[in-house]
Amino acid sequence: MSFMQKLMEGHEGGLAHETMTPMQKIALRFVVIGLLFYGLAALEGMIMRLHEIKPLPMIDESHFFSIMTVHPMVGIFGSSYMIVFGAFLFLTPYLMKKPIYSVKLADLSWKFIAAGTFIMWLAGFLFHYAPLYTLYWPLPVDFKQFTIIGGITYIVGVVGIMIGTFLFTYNIFKTILYTPKGWEKQPAWDLLKSALGLEGLLNFFRRKKKEHLVPLPIAAISRGTIDMGLNAIVISSAGVLILIYFLGELFGASLKDTWVDALLYKNIFWWGLDLIADGLVLIFVAGTWYLLAMLISGKDLFMQNIARAALFLEMVVSWTVWSHHLMSDQGQPNILKVVSGEMVTAFELITQGIAVFITLVTLWRARPLKMSNELKFLLGGILGFMLAVPAGIIQADLGMNRILHNTQWIIGTHVHVAILVGLTMTLYSAIYILLPILTNGAKLYSQKLADLHFWLHLIGGIGMGAFMGMAGMDGMLRRALYLNGEYNTYMILAGICGAMLLLAFAIFLYNIVMSIGVKGLINIYKPATIQTNEVVPPQKESE
């Protein structure tokens, strides 16, 4: 059989799209688009790596910084959000053993986020909109530097992403709390208490413990979703504020020096953004680790009650940790720098350490285990956070922060290792284990390619973060372009590791496409033959 015949037919046991439920298809739509956006973000990262080694003739300075602006947004919202949303919209009804509240809302969610990410990307690609740090102060409304069409396009894209996020948040909580038609009335308030961890917290003070009504992964999903909803409110408000400032500049009534206090804005902005950076990621990742550990080991999670309490504690920490982003801001009160910036941030080492310990012990108790793809990538994801979280704690020191804050250390050793190794390898583990579930038994095309994907991604991700961090320790600033070759050795080594990451993704994508076939991919975006995904109501014992 020729290569194209294999590609069109898919591998043995390929995608049985005729029998897929709507939620299987929608989950795959999220994941496929998320992977494509990941590829775009990886390509943009490689372009920046190459340009920092030797300027590319087709990239001028404004285009370089516009790539730097949209690169993290495409990676976080277009890729990570999409993959996480797809998995959780499928897993929430799957684990709760009832249908999703609204298939239509789920379908609208991926469309809004995909369209919003693409529109936001166009603002950088077409109009070179480059405020460097998303929506941060000072608000990027200087018409001498940015075009109004670029700014408006960017904000429209951000708003689209946030609308999709609100739809996801609403759908998740309604699915947990609502009673499907024809079912016996479900205790919504008790379900909410269990999902938020209040029931587990009260159990510490009860002689007779109450049973948890929602599975542990649902607790993580619900608590992370709260942070996601709060973040969407803050980011949407920042976008609307920028539009108001744009209109003021356009009509000759500048609002730059009036109306909004800069320090207050920065605190609110970082509070909202840190709900993702230090709350949402750690909560969702811990919940995903727990689910993966249970699925891989086939055993209950070790210390489940402690795990639930730690998730609740992580949510509280995520609401109070934002000030470590403002430790070098001279106007920030010292009490916030010390309490929120240093002390609360250090507590993340404890909450994440608990998650690592519980996950590893759960796996250890089930030994011997086959070193499957999902297990390898889970261990890789844990290693990524074991490297990145301590790097963040080092930065959250008033003395070290002055040295490291505005350098490549923070974006390389902390951020890229956390996202590329910790988060992304965790998501790859989830994709490998969910692939046969979502595709009704599709088999992986090549195990050798999966092994190559693992090693290239692991070494490339850690290596790129390490070499960027070394450059930062030598004084290389972030959000700066060096054209004199001063840091070329580090940048060449980081570029080689970046190429490994890009190659790893290409291998993974090829392996997945060959597993389900192009025809199967196309059918994911066609309406499902089965127009309902209802679950049979649980029967009473008397029946």
Give pLDDT tens digits for 115-131.
Answer: 999 999 999 888 888 87
Range of the domain at 268: 16-542
pLDDT at 278 over 80: no
**Residue in the structure block whose two tokens are 């949407």:** 236
Residue 402 pLDDT level (bands cut at 50, 70, 90): confident
Mean pLDDT of 228-239: 87
Side chain identity, residue 238: A
State both tokens at 12.
């043995």
Tell me how many domains the chain contains: 1
Q: Give CA 510 to chain center in angstroms.
A: 23
Domain with residue 157: its CATH number is: 1.20.210.10
Residues in contact with 218: Cβ distance below 8 Å, sequence separation at least 6, in sequence order:
92, 95, 96, 176, 195
Q: Is 1 within the bounds of a domain?
A: no
Which of 185, 169, 284 shows the shortest CA–CA distance to 230?
169
Give pLDDT tens digits for 286-304.
Answer: 888 998 999 898 888 888 8
Q: What are phi and psi of 206, to 5 degrees?
A: -105, 145
pLDDT at 362 over 50: yes
C-alpha 329/C-alpha 421 separation (Å) is 30
Q: Is 4 within the bounds of a domain?
A: no
Which of 78, 98, 97 shows the shortest CA–CA distance to 31?
78
* Percent residues over pLDDT 70 in the chain: 88
Binning the chain into helix, strand and coil, the percentages to the nearest 5 are 75, 0, 25
State both tokens at 329.
């801001």
3-state secondary structure string across 43-82: HHHHHHHHHHHCCCCCCCHHHHHHHHHHHHHHHHHHHHHH
Give pLDDT tens digits for 2-28.
Answer: 433 443 344 444 454 456 788 888 888
Q: Pick the most confident of 108-122, 302-316, 428-442, 473-487.
A: 108-122
Whether 433 and 295 have beta carbons less than 8 Å apart is answered as yes
Average pLDDT score over the chain: 84
Give pLDDT tens digits for 147-166.
Answer: 788 888 888 999 999 999 99
Q: Is 11 within the bounds of a domain?
A: no
State both tokens at 299.
């055993």
Q: Is 7 within the bounds of a domain?
A: no
